[in-house]
Structure 1
Amino acid sequence: MPKLLLAIESTCDETAAAVIGRDLTILSSIVSSQSDLHEQYGGVVPEIAARAHVERILPVIESAMSEAGVNLTDLSAIAVATHPGLVGSLLVGVTAAKTLALILDLPLIAIDHVQAHLYACQMSSAKNVFPAVGLVVSGGHTNLYDCRDALEMPLLGSTIDDAAGEAFDKVAAILGLTYPGGPSIQKAADDGNADAFDFPKAFYHQSRLAFSFSGLKTAVLYEVKGQPGAHQQPPEMNSKRLADVAASFEKAVVDVIVRKCEQALKQLGYNSLCVGGGVAANRRLRHDLKSMCTERKTQLVIAPMEYCTDNAAMGAIAWESYDRQLFASLDIDVTPGLVRAQ
């Protein structure tokens, strides 16, 4: 029987499990989304997310095993994302993984959720993608990494406030668009003029590898709602104006991300850029990153669409730890929170 591992993901609002072969073949990948539970709040509510994980974790694991056509006794290891993320959500997945590892007497492997997003690029590539600059851009993270290999990825820089995906969600709420904000803003932006508004681009003209989207979000708010106490208020919002605001906001976010990726490539001297995370599904970001990398003669590897949003298949990175005998003890704890540059 070939070696198999079960990977579990519960860092935020997706309950996921996958059965993965040693050759990185994905035998099954089950994801239970909670978007409908959080839509009315315009963002993820940690307590609701944790409760939903408790209800869904066992059915999701059972579905992953059933779809793969294997039994628990066929597994060689249990892998689980232990950081970063929401503490309540993380605890559900880690508790399930610990229990299985104990009962089955299997090695337990701790996964760095952010590193796993970048490893999804390796999974889709026919050749080794490292070393590379790594970009993880999602609802919780907008980070750049020095990806020296699959497990050594020092942080180069991150957002000092909102992550890009969080900014998309908040701006979508300002515009009255649906949650999650990424897809709805992309759809609205299709009919808009991206140069209609000159929104701020924090750190764009600085060499610092950092991001900030809070000021951009506020600029959009003032453009839509007006500034408190101002004598002149913005025109009434119509479909054309909404599309222009969405397109201009999207362009401001993408311009900064592409700029910082290019700066990181220059600083490190790498000719490979790996991109993962939910916002990596954005069409404009993919297009502009491709244009920049083509101009620089740099290899661009973006995680497949199905592995951009949170999933357990990217837990294939656990095989890297398995080969190096980097196993976790059963008393391992979660590390919540977001990754921030110092």
Structure 2
Amino acid sequence: MSRIIMGVESSCDETGIGLVRLHDDGTVELLADEVASSVEQHARFGGVVPEVASRAHLEALVPTATRAFEAADLKLSDVDAIAVTAGPGLAGALLVGVAAAKGYAAALDVPLYGVNHLAGHIAVDTLQHGPLPSPCLALLVSGGHTQLLRVDDIASSITELGSTVDDAAGEAYDKVARVLDLPYPGGPPIDKAAKRGNPAAIKFPRGMTGPRDAKFDFSFSGLKTAVARWVEEAESRGEEIPVDDVAASFQEAVADVLTAKAVRAAKETGIGTLVISGGVAANSRLSALARERCEAAGITLRVPRPRLCTDNGAMIAALGAHVIAAGVERSSLDISANPALPVGVVSV
């Protein structure tokens, strides 16, 4: 008998409610994916303000859930389990989602599963491309995280091979966009400008690619600083800033490092499938270069469609479904949010 899983996501500035159907054979079907974003409320600050995000979640959660159930043509009473992001993320924002999920679970008398936001970004790919091979490699690239992960079992076994030592890739995009007077969040406007620019115009540094650097770790702080200094020097000479060329050159540096390290990790571990997810996975140059390099190396590349890459409730519902299918014990109703939940802890 199939089961309906409701997913609640509130780790940052998107309030997401997802509904999936877990079939008897373990496959997961997406039924609804509704998101309310508070990004416009944060834009004037140039980044996410935690208190604003928490208030926005409080206001948006119930209306977003209502839209999800209408889209799926389901009732609350049809839900068989609730999955919620327990971490990592912003403490206040996480607490809103966890509290709401507890309320739904208690009212409906269904099991609650607190799950990992990062693992959700990997699990969401199964909604589009089917079950993950075991093992597979995941490159998670977002505003707060840049990680290379070995996934032996999406429900229980994820190992970090490398991560960012400073700025995440998405964070670097936001900061460079600010330098170039482009809107927040920086990913989409930089991607758009880069399509008009020359990626070879400026040779920006490739962080942590030296022979003595950790081969699977990332660093984008130096790249961000290099862009800022280049712009400052050009302005001091009275030159007009070639925004498109700067954006293209910056983006090429990011995509180059991400894809080179991911392909290297796949080769060295002997893993034949790479999944790229997280908000930056929607970047056109990253996906194009990853496809080019994976094809050359004989690696299967899986990238969810852009809507699934960004934070959403569907990814939490999908992960919850996999956790349930694996027979993982339900969470207690007294679980709390953990802003620093490590990626290796898939459920709490």
TM-score (norm 2): 0.92
Q: Please, what is the CA RMSD of the aligned residues?
A: 1.8
1:328 aligns with 2:335: no
Give the unaligned 5+ runs of structure 1. none
Q: Which amino acid aligns with 1:319?
A: A
Matched position secondary structure for 1:25: strand
Equivalences for 1:240-251 in 2 at 5 Å? 241-251=242-252
Cα separation, 2, equivalents of 1:289 and 1:325? 34
The aligned counterpart of 2:239 is 236
Contact (CA 8 Å) 1:122, 1:129: kept in 2 or not?
Answer: no
Contact (CA 8 Å) 1:198, 1:248: kept in 2 or not?
Answer: yes
Cα separation, 2, equivalents of 1:57 and 1:311? 12
The aligned counterpart of 1:88 is 92
Shift of 1:123: 2.1
Match of 2:220 among 213, 218, 225: 213
Contact (CA 8 Å) 1:137, 1:143: kept in 2 or not?
Answer: yes
Equivalences for 1:1-342 in 2 at 5 Å? 2-23=2-23, 24-151=28-155, 152-206=157-211, 207-226=214-233, 233-238=236-241, 241-315=242-316, 316-323=318-325, 324-337=327-340
Shift of 1:317: 1.4
Sort the Cα spacing of 1:163 and 1:67 in 2 relative to 1 into closer, same or farther, 3 A.
Answer: same
Cα separation, 2, equivalents of 1:326 and 1:13? 29
User: What does the per-residue CA deviation read over 1:178-221, in whole Å, with 9 as the maximum and x for residues that have no partner?
Assistant: 11101100111111111111111111234521111111111111
Shift of 1:128: 3.5
Cα separation, 1, equivalents of 2:52 and 2:131? 41
Contact (CA 8 Å) 2:140, 2:146: kept in 1 or not?
Answer: yes
Contact (CA 8 Å) 2:3, 2:79: kept in 1 or not?
Answer: yes
Contact (CA 8 Å) 1:192, 1:243: kept in 2 or not?
Answer: yes
Sort the Cα spacing of 1:95 and 1:281 in 2 relative to 1 into closer, same or farther, 3 A.
Answer: same
Cα separation, 2, equivalents of 1:114 and 1:301? 17
Contact (CA 8 Å) 1:118, 1:276: kept in 2 or not?
Answer: yes
Matched position secondary structure for 2:158: coil
Q: Which amino acid aligns with 1:208?
A: K
Aligned residue pair count:
335
Cα separation, 1, equivalents of 2:236 and 2:129? 51
Q: Which amino acid aligns with 1:136?
A: L
Sort the Cα spacing of 1:50 and 1:291 in 2 relative to 1 into closer, same or farther, 3 A.
Answer: same
Aligned structure 1 segments of 4 or more residues deviating by more than 6 angstroms: none
Cα separation, 2, equivalents of 1:292 and 1:92? 41
Shift of 1:340: 8.8
Cα separation, 1, equivalents of 2:237 and 2:248? 18
Shift of 1:18: 1.3
Contact (CA 8 Å) 2:133, 2:273: kept in 1 or not?
Answer: yes
Shift of 1:339: 5.6
TM-score (norm 1): 0.94
Shift of 1:6: 0.9
Shift of 1:147: 0.8
Shift of 1:12: 0.5
Sort the Cα spacing of 1:132 and 1:340 in 2 relative to 1 into closer, same or farther, 3 A.
Answer: closer
* Aligned-pair identity (%): 42
Cα separation, 2, equivalents of 1:322 and 1:338? 20
Give the unaligned 5+ runs of structure 2. none
Matched position secondary structure for 1:162: coil
Contact (CA 8 Å) 1:204, 1:259: kept in 2 or not?
Answer: no
Contact (CA 8 Å) 1:118, 1:303: kept in 2 or not?
Answer: no
User: What does the per-residue CA deviation read over 1:225-246, in whole Å, with 9 as the maximum and x for residues that have no partner?
Assistant: 239xxxx9344234xx111111
Contact (CA 8 Å) 1:28, 1:67: kept in 2 or not?
Answer: yes
Contact (CA 8 Å) 1:265, 1:271: kept in 2 or not?
Answer: yes
User: What does the per-residue CA deviation read over 1:238-281, in whole Å, with 9 as the maximum and x for residues that have no partner?
Assistant: 4xx11111111001111110111012112211011011001000
